[in-house]
Structure 1
Amino acid sequence: MDFKPLEAWVKKEIGIDLTAYKSNQLHRRIQSLMTRVGVSTIDEYIKLLKSDLGQREKFIDYLTINVTEFFRNPEIFNEFKDVIKSDFQYNTPLKIWSAACSIGAEPYTLAMILDEISPGVNHKILATDLDNTILNKAKKGQYNSLEIKTVPQQLLKKYFANDGGVYNIDNKLKKNITFKKHDLILDNYENNFDIIVCRNVVIYFNQDVKDKIYEKFSKSLKKGGILFVGATESIYNYKAFNFEKVSTFIYRKL
């Protein structure tokens, strides 16, 4: 099956560069989605995406991998917490970017950690994702019992209000987080971040695209800034991006 016409259409009309993704993985996902919606050719699928906005949203949701949870890999988050304590002043507001934030579990996790370390300090967290649907969910800060199952009990009681099984995140955390649509591949990056957290997304990209993203992350960080990546995303060529290795998944800009 020739996916090139779909790749060209998606880049032009939706603004997502499918050629950045690992092709075998991506094509399997697209074929699976086409089977679900009952189309057998790429031309038919493009026609469906043109005419049905609902199917277009499903396509974007399906492409952007939204597997996430609060405090994902807690032992790694403990390392991250220790690095924050050792590298940054407690009473100084930090500028943080949670890239590919999905439903908001990660930026809210960061907000809880920072509030525990430095209560009352208004750290600024930019939380971005490609998918408007999940960004809208993230902004609401409402989660069901399954979604909050990994939040430690003491933090659940402190930062969430249980309203009949719907858990609402505390407004004092929400006010320090700005949610914004952003494409890691195609869009410009902001600068002067103290911390960038990007976990479990670049694994889906090919190596050239990964390297470009890491290079841009490095430029976006202040000197001494921290990049925190996912549990399967060690950067083997980290020196090429002016990083030193703090731990397996945490890097500091030199």
Structure 2
Amino acid sequence: MYRHAGISLTDAKKQLVAGRLAKRLRHLNLSSYGDYFRRLQADGGEMQTAVDLLTTNETYFFREPKHFDFLRDGILPGLKSKGPVRVWSGACSSGEEPYTLAMVMAEVLGGRPWGIVASDLSSRVLATARQGRYPIEDAAGIPRPLLRKYCLKGVGSQEGTFMIKPELRGRIEFRQVNLNASLPDLGVFDLIFLRNVMIYFDIETKRQVVRRILPLLRPGGHFVVSHSENLNGVSDALKAVRPSVYCKPEA
């Protein structure tokens, strides 16, 4: 798992691993974790299933709202790039983060061209993200004006759910990306969100991931991690502008 996804599963994670894989073992009629380990060695598809089961995907709309306040008031109004504004949500989970970004960008940028790339290692959560449909209780964190403007309430067979409007979903390209491997051609970005993923990496893996990502950030662009993270000892190529928000110096 460390080699495939950069996730450090120490002895302290033994109960977590056992609990999340137990149902899978029963599904495959395997009698031991040793049998499952041998299955993983022989079946690359099963490795993806294991990654899906072992990665934590807790997220919600407007999580850590100060980041979106700063995006709205401090980053987007000052962008000077002539082309489309591009943002990468590098650990998008089930889509709440990129859809939140999209709502803020739509409000601030108006008719200016913009787009979002949203990526994750887990194919399971990406399938949910692409649909853009969520339980109605998940709408609690979305400001009411934005909810009315960018979301559709489910009726009939979809009662109890809401969906992100197609015009917003169409602005987001969802990609499966392993941050611990060579990155595909994603282009360059004005802003990169990489929140709540490096907490699962050891220090050397963090350094390699950031080193891999930084060429994709425009000079003057911003790099955002979660409030529980920082880049101390990880990279000195970025300048802190406020807690958990960094800027790449101009060329």
Query: Structure 1 regions of 5+ residues with no counterpart?
Result: 1-6
Normalised to the residue count of structure 1, the TM-score between the two structures is: 0.83
**Contact 2:84–2:113 at 8 Å: present in 1 too?**
yes
Matching residue's letter, 1:30: V
How much has 1:135 moved relative to structure 2?
Answer: 0.8
Aligned residue for 1:216, secondary structure, equals helix
Corresponding position: 1:148 with 2:135: no
Q: Partners of 1:70 and 1:34 in 2: how far apart?
A: 28
Partner of 2:97: 106
**Contact 2:132–2:164 at 8 Å: present in 1 too?**
yes
Aligned residue for 1:180, secondary structure, equals strand
Aligned residue for 1:199, secondary structure, equals coil
Normalised to the residue count of structure 2, the TM-score between the two structures is: 0.84
Q: Partners of 2:133 and 2:5 in 1: how far apart?
A: 31
How much has 1:145 moved relative to structure 2?
Answer: 1.3
Q: Partners of 1:209 and 1:56 in 2: how far apart?
A: 20
Partner of 1:3: none
Q: Give 1:249's match in structure 2, choosing from 241, 244, 247.
A: 244
Partner of 1:200: 196
How much has 1:21 moved relative to structure 2?
Answer: 2.0
Corresponding position: 1:186 with 2:209: no
Corresponding position: 1:166 with 2:161: yes
How much has 1:25 moved relative to structure 2?
Answer: 5.1
Query: Structure 2 regions of 5+ residues with no counterpart?
Result: none
RMSD (CA atoms): 2.8
Q: Give 2:232's match in structure 1, choosing from 228, 236, 245.
A: 236
Partner of 1:211: 207
Number of residues of Structure 1 aligned to a counterpart in Structure 2? 240
Corresponding position: 1:78 with 2:69: yes
Identity of aligned residues (%): 29
**Contact 1:193–1:222 at 8 Å: present in 2 too?**
yes
Aligned residue for 1:68, secondary structure, equals coil
Q: Partners of 1:162 and 1:235 in 2: how far apart?
A: 40
How much has 1:168 moved relative to structure 2?
Answer: 1.2
